[in-house]
Structure 1
Amino acid sequence: MTDHPRPPRLSIGLPVYNGEEYLAESLDALLGQTYEDFELVITDNASADGTEDICRKYAAQDSRIRYLRLPRNIGAAPNHNYVFTRCRGELFKWASHDDLYARDLLRTCVEALDERPDVVLAHSDQAVIDGAGQVKVPYAYGLATASPHAPERFRSFLFEPGGDDFYGVMRADVLRRVKPHDSYHHADRTFVAQLVLQGPFHQVPELLYFRRDHPTRAERANPSKRSRCVNLDPRRAGPLHPTPRLLAEYVWGFASAIQRAPLSAADRRACYRHLLTWMTSRARPGAGERVEDRAPVDPGLLSLSVDDLVAEREGRTGRQT
């Protein structure tokens, strides 16, 4: 009888579509992590560029990679959900094909989860970088997601500018308790709200995650709410999904998260009150501010080099203007 190898502790799911421009850099950064007990599952959404060749080349060189090519483009949201179903680890992280990850990102997040059994998600401080890997906007994480009180975590998540918790390291069993990622306007926010209501987050106070902002990033390439939702799921195209419906589903996503969460009656009522207050405050200036749209910060003010922190960045020109 053949013994099956032990599943890796951590699974990284990387859904991708036409990501040839930055994919190799991101794969180098993930494969160069100081924490090595992981699998990297790539689900290619029927890319039409050089993505497949890049993925097959890396998979042939590193046994931790599994490359799965879908026969057609099912949309970003279904692809994110699909890659999770193909992962085996007790911990899980989504990765983006264009972001960069410092060598110690996975190790520090896994250690945080091991040290704090009540924490459901761990991530690090973050900065926005440009196409060349130069820091544009380092930003502080100000959310109260570490609070032991679910209503306070939810209130803070609704009202305060946050980070990229969606790309944190999560407990896979918690992820299975929540509804999969949907495709209405800001569905990623309601998805993370579900996790916020499941338990506390931990923010590692080190700058280890770098979100790349560039003209071809999905949010930039699809400027309207409708086009972003169609990118998430092609089934959103057509008259059955007008913008008012996409916005209504966004609000209902928060209400549904509260309804499904393991809360006491008092905490559930408090969360509904916070949601009602948020709904009546959406006209407040800055309420919908994106991190990428904040005023740029001079990279010289930050004593940090992305090239020094991220694997395989030696010799790159990320620090040049």
Structure 2
Amino acid sequence: MLVDRGCRLCVGIPVYNEAEYLPRMLDSLKAQTYGEVTYLVCDNHSTDGSWDLIQDRCAGDERFALHRHAENIGAAKNSEFLFRNSTSEYFMWLGAHDLISPGLLEKSVRCLDEDPGVALAAGRPFRFVGDSEPAFMPEAVYDFSRRRVERYLQSVRLLANCTMFYSVFRRSSLDDLEFRHVRGLDHVMLSRLLWHGEARFLEDEIYFRRYFDGARPVDYSQRITGNREVLTMHDLVVYYLDDLRKLYRGDARILRHLESLVIGILADRYTLQSLHAQDDREYWMNHS
């Protein structure tokens, strides 16, 4: 079982068949200048030797806490497992095939410490494929409003490249979030974080996000759930609405108006012809 050492920051790394990329990722963690951190690494029953590699590369480094599931529980549950097994003030998810610059954790924590109005601190987003030279992704940088409701609605409308999901954030913002295994789980999480505060992109630190040539060997729904369950956009709409009801504590009439705006935005974004669950499920079964 994972052991949270009571540090101010926990970084959760969900792993599934990442043996080829793990050495560089782990080296980027070991090179971090911030010391008050626990790295929670959870292997989702990999079949490519990832678990043995993790144990070997992390041996003797007390910053690392390791766990392996007895079966593949899906990426969403694995990510939730990492979050639920932490008690830190700040939290971050890190892709097991990605990299971060050496000062990213230290400067992220400093940013959050210095400005309580910031909900998440993110590295400048760069993408790379294989051994290619990393390239800046301007489409992954957002300039959201300073006003809460407007910022939230902007996130529902605009979030496409969600690299800033891999940011350091105040974990209390997600404490009462119900983790649902839906398409766009990261969208709902980011919108919730932006309800609580602003996003800050660090000038001098980088999040290196790995992209892959061609399709991944497992389709999206199977990767998220660990099975053949079909994930639909209808589920995302319902998830957004249910979470908005937790976030907004004001006048019921304004809440209904906000709900209507969210429905309209998502219907336009994803060209939903119907908000009936069965209609949407049949569509995605035929188009996944």
2:184 paired residue number: 186
1:319 paired residue number: none
1:195 paired residue number: 193
2:266 paired residue number: 279
1:21-36 map, 5 Å: 21-36=20-35
- Can you give the 5+ residue segments of structure 2 that lack an aligned partner in the other structure? 272-288
**Partners of 2:204 and 2:182 in 1: how far apart?**
32
1:308 paired residue number: none
Counterpart pick for 1:150 among 131, 148, 159: 148
Counterpart pick for 1:220 among 201, 216, 220: 216
Q: CA deviation at 1:141?
A: 4.6
1:10 paired residue number: 9
TM-score (norm 1): 0.75
Q: CA deviation at 1:89?
A: 1.9
Kindly provide the amino acid, as one letter, of the partner of residue 224 in structure 2.
L
2:279 paired residue number: none
Q: Say which SS state the counterpart of residue 24 (structure 2) adopts.
A: helix
Contact 2:140/2:164, CA 8 A, preserved across alignment: no
Q: Say which SS state the counterpart of residue 102 (structure 2) adopts.
A: coil
**Partners of 1:100 and 1:255 in 2: how far apart?**
34
Show CA shifts across 1:288-320 (max 9, x none).
xxxxxxxxxxxxxxxxxxxxxxxxxxxxxxxxx
**Partners of 1:283 and 1:122 in 2: how far apart?**
28
1:216-295 map, 5 Å: 220-222=216-218, 227-235=219-227, 237=228, 241-242=229-230, 246-265=232-251, 268-269=255-256, 271-282=258-269
**Partners of 2:9 and 2:161 in 1: how far apart?**
25
Contact 2:129/2:213, CA 8 A, preserved across alignment: no
Contact 1:185/1:247, CA 8 A, preserved across alignment: yes
- The answer to whether residue 124 in structure 2 is matched with residue 122 in structure 1 is no
1:67 paired residue number: 66
Q: Say which SS state the counterpart of residue 177 (structure 1) adopts.
A: coil
**Partners of 2:5 and 2:55 in 1: how far apart?**
24
Q: CA deviation at 1:22?
A: 0.4
- Can you give the 5+ residue segments of structure 1 that lack an aligned partner in the other structure? 285-321
**Partners of 1:270 and 1:168 in 2: how far apart?**
31
Distance 1:206 1:256, change over 3 A: farther
1:135 paired residue number: 134
TM-score (norm 2): 0.83
Q: Say which SS state the counterpart of residue 281 (structure 1) adopts.
A: helix
Distance 1:133 1:111, change over 3 A: farther
1:42 paired residue number: 41
**Partners of 2:141 and 2:57 in 1: how far apart?**
37
Contact 1:151/1:270, CA 8 A, preserved across alignment: no
Show CA shifts across 1:61-104 (max 9, x none).
31111111111111111000011122232111111110010111
**Partners of 1:193 and 1:151 in 2: how far apart?**
10
153-162 or 167-176, which deviates more: 153-162
Q: CA deviation at 1:198?
A: 2.7
1:83 paired residue number: 82
Q: CA deviation at 1:270?
A: 5.5
Q: CA deviation at 1:29?
A: 0.4
Distance 1:24 1:277, change over 3 A: same
Q: Identity over aligned residues, as a percent?
A: 26
**Partners of 1:263 and 1:193 in 2: how far apart?**
16
**Partners of 2:258 and 2:183 in 1: how far apart?**
21
Give the count of matched residue pairs. Answer: 266
Distance 1:6 1:98, change over 3 A: closer
Q: CA deviation at 1:209?
A: 0.6
**Partners of 1:242 and 1:233 in 2: how far apart?**
9
Kindly provide the amino acid, as one letter, of the partner of residue 216 in structure 2.
R
Distance 1:125 1:268, change over 3 A: farther
Show CA shifts across 1:118-149 (max 9, x none).
3221112201111115224532554344x342
**Partners of 2:267 and 2:70 in 1: how far apart?**
44
Kindly provide the amino acid, as one letter, of the partner of residue 251 in structure 1.
V
Contact 1:127/1:210, CA 8 A, preserved across alignment: yes
Kindly provide the amino acid, as one letter, of the partner of residue 123 in structure 1.
A
